[in-house]
Structure 1
């Protein structure tokens, strides 16, 4: 009797299973979807490098320590050299525009790197000839003529953080020793000066004044430079800061401007005459049609 009971129970379970599955054996459950691959270790989101401060203007206009950063002596430690970096739109030789650092040295990009994702392929002996532009945790990046949103970072194999422009890692060239040198341009058909928007620098080109961004926040202050291309180091060039609110007259002639928001420029003192609104850095104020004699801060 016991064997009959067990057999009947097994038959009942089998019948129930077939009925529940439409008369077919139960299908195996579908495998769980594979997890999405983790992003590459080198890739960093385009924009602010992590734990780095951005300041509009040049290192000098922000009173950076000129014994550190881009101006540190050759025997300074890496930590001292990485305290600050300047990214300034300028002209060097036949390259206009091209980005230069705080010492006025031309910065470059490498065709064998990649911008999306950001990846540096220059290390070892390559990095001795083409020193990467690196920044320390808590360091400062001074931007003049380069949009903050276009600056990012990538983690190098040695753990250092290298700055990028539009995703492209940026470098110096060891044979460039003074401002205006562009000895790295075209080397190997793969190295080129980098423009403020990450392109390869080439022949001179006119740079129209940027169109105002309606969404830009009003600026509370601006930095004006007597030289074009935010130059406050050549000859008698210097920079001065002007802060709002309201209308502020400009004393002297200034040929470039760095701002962290929108400001209205006027052709005459006391905010009279012609006017134009700018919300980005202007490398040559002549492109707006006049050198400003006053500024209005909202």
Structure 2
């Protein structure tokens, strides 16, 4: 891409000799696509099917070239009026351009140096921007890693506190104190409904009523505690119900010799388990409930 889009050329062909024209520099044929057109250099120009030779005399914008061409034309007309033989007594290289060839080349060289300098400055700016961008990325990464580390420490501390709590709950002396305190709280502060819940405990200690709608259907406290932990750990509804179903109907042969519908119709504790879970916010749909029953029957047949 030439910095100057137009040029004044002097034709070297016999039938156009000593004539001048304004051409686009992109239409002038050069040996290399990256080569720039220069003043006082000879080039080829294709006009229709003919190849013409020309010498570049001036480079500039279209307006500048047309202005210089007008000056040349005025000069030739004045020379003709004074009966000056241009071809014999005047050399066309003496035609007064506003900028001489050497000045043109010097100007072009300055332009090139200026462009190179600007290009170097731009390159330096780009490098600085890229370096700054990478620094920002590094700082962001470090910040994110520090936050993840802090979150992990908080999670570890929370888990340690939960483990300590579970250990304390398993301590017989603490459990005894909690039980005694709970009885006193229920006795003096509990509502009739809460006292009624206590009455639902089975005759033998260690068992509780699965659901108030299913009288006589009990489950062990161990199973209840295990299910509560699974709910806290956000286990899947299917996994939680499967654990309850296998514990409530522990005979593998019963499962293996029947299908899901039979189990649903004849073992109401399974429906009680479903309602127990739904009461605690476990999203066990009817479809998932029946699918687990069918799966257990199928597995126990093997």
Larger radius of gyration: 2
**More relative contact order, 1 or 2 (CA 8 Å, 6+ apart):** 1
- Greater per-residue helix proportion: 2
TM-score after normalising by structure 1 = 0.23
- Greater per-residue strand proportion: 1
